[in-house]
Structure 1
Amino acid sequence: MSRDSLSFDTVLFILGGHPVTLGLLLAGLCGLLLLTMLLSTLRRGRAHAAEQERIDRLLTAQAEMQSRMATLTEVFGTRQSELNRAIGERLDGMGQRIGSSILQQTQATHENLRRLQERLTAIDSAQANIQTLARDMAGLQQILSNKQTRGAFGQQRMETIVADGLPQGAYTFQATLSNGARPDCTIRMPNGQPALVVDAKFPLEAWNTLRSAQDEAVKRQAAQQFRRDMEVHIRDIATKYLLPGETQDTAFLFVPSESIFADIHEHFEAIVQKAQRARIVIVSPSLLLLSIQVIQAILRDASMREQAHLIRDEVVHLMADLGRLDERVRKLQGHFLASQRDVEDILISSDKLRKRGGRIEALELDTQGPAPVASPPPAQPQATPPSSASAPQAAGDQGRPRQSALKLWVVDED
């Protein structure tokens, strides 16, 4: 079929028993196109309506969001201002606290520096004292290196302790005993008891060798030498100074150093026990001082017992004086009681005078005129009633004033 022979009535095909022409096909295609266009328009309209609704919702949500943002902005602004104010207050308070703390720390630092300066001054003074003490110790070492000088040093310490603790006459230095021995000190005991002997000759040669030894063999040899020297010295004290009836059966061996005394009791217990068996007491400066104080108390007690009869006589005189004082106090008490009775009588008289003056002040005059002078009341306790017939008398030639009648009750209370 040629293109020129085609027309709208030309049957193109048969569909369902019905012929389909070109015009019908074109009409159907145009209707389908129109329907498609209409459907597309409707879809676009619905889409536009939905988009418009969505836009409206977005605008509404945007408005609500803007309102909420404004509220949040206002809230955030208020909170920010409050936060800024709180932060400012806290910063101000923190600054004040920091300033105060810095000031306190500064003051504490200055105080610590001042104390440190004082401590440094004290340390300098102590260092100077230590240096002086070191020089003194060097001198002491030189003194102790000589045997005679060392004995004089121990003797001097012992004499100082005894002289400070006991009264004059209660001790004697370098006294000669009946056997010719001369102890360093003898202390007089009360009640005619024998004297107590104190020896200050302590052997230090072996001790110094022991302290300065570095080898164990040298130390053992020095310890044995020191033990032998101590035993010999203890035996000499027991044989020379313990005289029956002349001295006490116990003597003191004075050690002029507390450290040596402690080392002897710690490392040489056998020597201490041997001295105790020989009735020799090893004493340090502190123990000697304590013993001297005990002896001083014993001497004071003995002196009090010796003066007991004088005290008794003084007590008798005191009791006699107390008896005379009691007698005189009782006499004075009698004088006070008599004076008290006189004062009571005077108070009674003054009370009567006061009452009479009150009655005089309470007088009532019948007429005007000066009141007559009241005469003393009679001795009998009676009342005088006022007279109704009394009248003023005429004045004489001398012009005496007229007297008015007085209403007066006079009662004698004697």
Structure 2
Amino acid sequence: FEDKVEKSQKENISIHSSLKEQLLNLQSQNLKITQEAENLTKALKGDSKMQGNWGELVLERVLEKSGLEKDREYSVQQSFTREDGSRVLPDVIINLPDGKKMVVDSKVSLTAYERYINAEEEFQEKFLKEHISSLKNHVDQLSSKKYEDLYEMESPDFVLMFVPIEPAFAIAINNDNSIYNKAFEQNIVIVTPSTLLATLRTIDSMWNNEKQQRNAIEIARQAGALYDKFEGFISDLTKVGKKMDEAKIEYKGAMNKLVEGRGNIITSIEKLKKMGAKAKKSLPDKYLERAQQDDFDEKLN
């Protein structure tokens, strides 16, 4: 009974220790979630730097899910110099298979949107107008950057303006559907996480097709080279066969000289042995018999 009680106590201590560890881990996770929530709240309440960092973080998460490889299919915060010497720093440059590049910009202020969400109903319209105006202003600012004038990269067909919160763009476009069209006229496409992901997946498919095409060309090239080498191998092998046939004929001729005719070489050499020449070895019987028979036949003739 004492053993069972002691064993039970040890198990309870182990369980309590494990539970304490889990509670501490849960506390740590809750603190982390709280901190992230506070950071998000700060980002949406007008902390411009925090808001920008959070938007770039969301953008990077979307890029990671797209299948594109960083520093190969896209690059982050790559600096470019204009012809007048001024420098620009696009958030993301996406490389396209045809050598062109696409710019993604995520510096969108959502302060007015946060105020709209948390405002009393009587003030919501005011903040909604400010939110729409903020998006339009960012479109104009993005257009004024003239990314197409950058001499270090191919002119992008479009610049993607990234809005990290889907409802923020949805509420704006529902109340002013001219935003998207006016941006499009300035070669700017407004995207959210879902629409950007779809665009990036399409680009990833383009890269996969490009790689497959390059692989097909390389396979065709290597197959042609292999065919040419195989033809050369057959040609060389045919030459070896001819040489072997010629050697066979030469060999047969040489052997005939050894064993054929009256007084052939083998018969003559064997006579030396019979006459007393000291030799430790003997000529093969099959050649001796053939030579002696041929010598005999010649004498009869």
TM-score by length of 1: 0.42
- Quick one: higher RCO (CA 8 Å, sep 6+), 1 or 2? 2
Deviation of residue 303 (structure 1)? 2.8
Judged with a 3 Å threshold, the aligned counterparts in structure 2 of structure 1 residues 303 and 241 are, in CA distance, closer, same or farther, namely farther
2:56 to 155, 161, 174: 155
Q: Which residue of 2 aligns with 1:51?
A: none
1: CA distance, partners of 2:155 / 2:61: 22
C-alpha spacing 1:147/1:233, structure 2 compared with 1 (3 Å): same
Assess if the C-alpha contact under 8 Å between 1:272 and 1:282 holds in 2: yes
1:273 Cα deviation after fit: 2.3
**Superposition pairs for residues 283-362 of structure 1, below 5 Å?**
283-316=191-224
Which structure has the bigger radius of gyration?
1
> d(CA) in 2 for partners of 1:271 and 1:234?
9
- Give 5+ residue unaligned stretches, structure 2: 1-25, 234-301
**Secondary structure of 1:186's partner?**
strand
d(CA) in 2 for partners of 1:230 and 1:150?
15
Instruction: Pick one of 237, 241, 253 that aligns with 2:142.
Output: 237
Q: 1:264 and 1:227 mapped to 2: Cα distance?
A: 6
Aligned to 1:220: 125
SS of 1:172's equivalent in the other structure is strand
Q: Does 1:166 align with 2:53?
A: no
Structure 1 residue identity aligned to 2:137: V
Task: Determine if the alignment matches structure 1 residue 181 to structure 2 residue 88.
Answer: yes
Q: Is the 8 A contact 1:183 1:241 kept in 2?
A: no
Which of 184, 203, 209 is residue 115 of structure 2 equivalent to? 209
Q: Secondary structure at the match of 1:252?
A: strand
Deviations 1:7-46 (A, max 9, x none): xxxxxxxxxxxxxxxxxxxxxxxxxxxxxxxxxxxxxxxx
SS at match of 1:243: helix
| Long gaps (5+) in structure 1 | 1-127, 325-414
Q: How many residues align?
A: 195
Q: Percent identity?
A: 25
CA spacing shift, 1:282–1:156, aligned 2, 3 Å: same
Superimposed CA distance per residue, residues 242-276 of structure 1 (whole angstroms, 9 cap, x where no aligned partner): 31573313111111122223323322312222222
Cα deviation, residue 148, structure 1: 0.7
Change over 3 Å in CA distance of 1:181–1:139 after alignment to 2: closer
Secondary structure in 2 aligned to 1:190? coil
Distance 2:168 2:137 in 1: 18
Shift of 1:237: 1.1
Name the CA shift for 1:203/1:215 in 2 (closer, same or farther; >3 Å).
Answer: same
SS at match of 1:253: strand
Give the letter for the 1:205 counterpart.
Answer: T
| Deviating 4+ runs (over 4 angstroms) | 131-134, 317-324
Secondary structure of 1:248's match? coil
Is 2:76–2:92's contact at 8 Å kept on the other side of the alignment?
yes
**Aligned-partner Cα distance in 1 for 2:220–2:230:** 15
2:44 maps to 144
SS in 1 for 2:203: helix
**TM superposition shift of 1:278:** 1.8
Determine which of 279, 283, 293 is the counterpart of 2:187: 279
TM-score by length of 2: 0.56
Say yes or no: does 1:197 pair with 2:89: no
CA distance in 1, matches of 2:104, 2:134: 18
Deviation at 1:178, TM superposition (A): 3.2
Residue type at the aligned position of 1:231: K
